[in-house]
Amino acid sequence: MDGLFAEHGLDVEILDPSGGPDNVARVASGGSDFALTSVNHYLSAVARHDDLAARFVAVVVQRSPIGALVAAASELREPADLAGAKVGGDPANPQTIELLASLRHRGVAAPELVEIPDNALARAALARGEVDAIPALVDALPRRRRQAGIPLRAIRAGRDDVYASGLLAADRFSDEEAWQVRRAVVAALEQQRRRPSGGLDTMDARYADDRTEDAPEGWAMLEPFVFTGDPVGSMDAARWATTLDFLCRIRGLPRPAGESVYRPQFLIASGAAPPTHGFAVLPHPRPAR
């Protein structure tokens, strides 16, 4: 972001993500050093690989943005309205699983799941009115609206006490080096908050597709889940326990020990100020990829 990482003493090469759990495995195996990834992708990677040498050092999206997308003209407006509604999605997809479980947690009667294994087919079914809603992260609305070809709205159903995504660091990096990268990422988020259009030219030059046009609106929808009143990027042990208990239970996955998922040295109690040692500029950092 306009030299921000260099200002923090880091020589960073931005790599395109491998996609889903593969991005996590790439960090653990040495293909990259850090990654922004979801907790669900991390848990999927843990289920596929033993002893992943990578753990979270920051949480970026502090509250789950899972929800449902509906046609803009739909009468469905609140999570409770999804009771009995036709929801089109893949029953094995973590987003579908989390949406249904989040509705149960809210005490909402189950919607009717219309099994559609392909996301593009689900969007087409929504556009034709064959289903009432599709599972999605609420910040995906701009892109999914473009893909569906009809105006859409988002109904958020996720839990405030469940983490969504964060900064993953390879275990081979020291705490001091991980703090350095964490600090730069937090600064980047703060800068994005101040300048929502920052970096769009770079993004457009890199990808040259419609994601640049969608990005400002998507960021505006995600921003409340990043800036929640707690220190940006902070992680709390109790919130991690709730997150792992919930996501592992609903997906039928073994629940890993907390300290195998995150570095305990990076925990900050909810409502506490971040430790100053973690935000100091450290000398001679190792280049990060």
Q: What angle do helix axes 237-251 and 94-105 make, rounded to 10 degrees? A: 110
Q: What is the mean pLDDT of the chain?
A: 90
By the 10 Å C-beta count (0-12 exposed, 13-18 middle, 19+ buried), 6 is classed as: exposed
pLDDT at 288: 43
Domain with CATH 3.40.190.10 in the chain: 4-63+162-279, 66-156
- pLDDT value of residue 285: 35
- Quote the pLDDT of residue 237: 96
- Which CATH number fits the domain 4-63+162-279, given the four candidates 3.40.190.10, 2.40.50.180, 3.90.1640.10, 3.40.50.620? 3.40.190.10
- Tell me which architecture the domain covering 66-156 has in CATH: 3-Layer(aba) Sandwich (3.40)
Q: What is the pLDDT of residue 18?
A: 78
Q: What pLDDT, on the 0 to 100 scale, is given for residue 217?
A: 93
Can you give the pLDDT at residue 17?
78
pLDDT tens across 209-238, in order? 777 888 899 999 999 999 999 999 999 999
Q: How far is CA 262 from CA 173, 237, 241, in A?
A: 13, 9, 11
Q: What is the pLDDT of residue 69?
A: 98
Cα 3 to chain centroid, rounded: 24
The DSSP-derived string for 35-55 is EEEEHHHHHHHHHHSSS-SEE
Q: Please report the pLDDT score of residue 272 as a whole number.
A: 55
Say what the pLDDT of residue 282 is: 31
Residue among 164, 125, 176, 154 nearest 9 (CA) = 176
Please report which residue ranges of 115-210 form alpha helices under DSSP H. Answer: 119-128, 141-148, 175-194, 200-207
pLDDT in tens, the chain (289 residues): 457 788 888 888 888 877 789 999 999 999 999 999 999 999 999 999 878 999 999 999 999 999 999 999 999 999 999 999 999 999 999 999 999 999 999 999 999 999 999 999 999 999 999 999 999 999 999 999 999 999 999 999 999 999 999 999 999 999 999 999 999 999 999 999 999 888 878 777 777 677 788 889 999 999 999 999 999 999 999 999 999 999 999 999 999 999 999 999 999 865 555 555 443 333 323 334 4
- pLDDT given at position 252: 97
